[in-house]
C-alpha cells in the first residue's frame, strides 16, 4: 500500500488533554487487539512515527486519519470522543435501603445510574439474616467479602462458614440463604452483584 503523507500538527494547549485521551484510547484498543503500530501503519498507509505520536497525544490527526486508524482497529470513531462514564455516590447522600432479611441494615454503595454492577454494604445483627426460604437473583455473579464477624452462607445444598476477610463468588441464580451465626457479634459484609451488559 502506498504510504499516505501526514502532517504532524502540534496541539495547542487547550486541545492537549483531549488529544492525550484520544491517543490513550487508540493505544488501549490496539493493544487489546494484539496489534502493533507497524500493523496499523500497514493497514492505514500512515507512518509508524505519526501513529506513535498520535497515541502519545503529541500530534493531531485529521478526521480521515483517525477514521483510518479506527477502521484498522475495528472500533467506532465516536468512542474516541465519548466522555468517560464516572459515577459518584457521596457518603452524606446515601440512604439506608431495606432490601431483605431480618436484623439486617443495607446501604447501596453503587452510585445511581450504574447498571452493570451493584455494591451493597450489609450489617447483620446476631442471629439475623435471610432465612428460611432460599432466593435467587437475576444477575450473573454474586461476590461477598466478610469485613467483620462471620457469615454462614448456604448455596443449594452446600453450607459455607466465612470468617472476617474471607471472600466468595458464585452464580446468583443458584438458590441461597445466609445468616450471622453469632449470638453476640454483628457481621458486616459487602456484596457485589454483576451483570453482563
pLDDT digits (tens, 9 = 90+) for 74-100: 999 988 888 777 778 788 878 788 777
pLDDT above 50 for 1 = no
* Beta-bridge partner residues of 142: 170, 193
Q: What are phi and psi of 97, to 5 degrees?
A: -125, 125
Residue 31 has φ and ψ, to the nearest 5°, of -65, -35
CA gap 105, 84 in Å, rounded:
33
Question: pLDDT-based confidence at 197, cuts 50/70/90?
Answer: low
Q: Which carries the bigger pLDDT value, residue 116 or residue 172?
A: 172
Give me the pLDDT at residue 110, please. 87
The partner residues of 119 in beta bridges, in order of sequence, read 192
Question: Between helices 37-44 and 48-55, what is the axis angle to 10°?
Answer: 120
Q: Which residue's entry shows cell 440512604?
A: 95
Q: Using one digit for the tens of pLDDT, what is the confidence trace for 47-60?
A: 999 999 999 999 88
Tens-digit pLDDT profile for residues 2-26: 444 444 444 445 567 888 889 999 9
Amino acid at each position: 500500500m502506498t504510504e499516505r503523507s501526514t502532517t504532524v500538527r502540534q496541539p495547542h494547549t487547550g486541545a492537549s488533554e483531549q488529544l492525550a485521551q484520544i491517543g490513550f484510547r487508540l493505544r488501549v484498543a490496539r493493544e487489546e487487539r494484539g496489534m502493533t503500530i507497524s500493523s496499523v501503519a500497514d493497514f492505514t498507509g500512515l507512518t509508524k512515527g505519526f501513529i506513535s505520536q498520535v497515541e502519545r497525544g503529541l500530534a493531531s490527526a485529521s478526521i480521515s486519519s483517525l477514521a483510518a486508524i479506527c477502521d484498522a482497529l475495528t472500533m467506532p470513531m465516536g468512542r474516541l470522543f465519548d466522555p468517560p462514564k464516572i459515577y459518584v455516590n457521596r457518603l452524606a447522600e446515601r440512604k439506608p435501603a431495606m432490601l431483605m432479611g431480618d436484623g439486617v441494615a443495607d446501604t447501596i454503595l453503587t452510585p445511581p445510574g450504574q447498571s452493570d454492577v451493584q455494591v451493597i454494604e450489609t450489617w447483620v445483627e446476631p442471629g439475623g439474616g435471610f432465612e428460611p426460604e432460599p432466593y435467587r437473583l437475576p444477575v450473573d455473579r454474586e461476590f461477598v467479602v466478610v469485613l467483620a464477624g462471620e457469615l454462614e452462607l448456604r448455596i443449594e445444598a452446600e453450607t459455607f462458614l466465612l470468617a472476617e476477610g474471607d471472600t466468595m463468588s458464585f452464580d446468583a441464580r443458584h438458590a441461597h440463604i445466609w445468616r450471622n451465626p453469632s449470638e453476640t457479634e454483628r457481621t458486616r459484609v459487602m456484596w457485589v452483584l454483576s451483570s453482563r451488559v
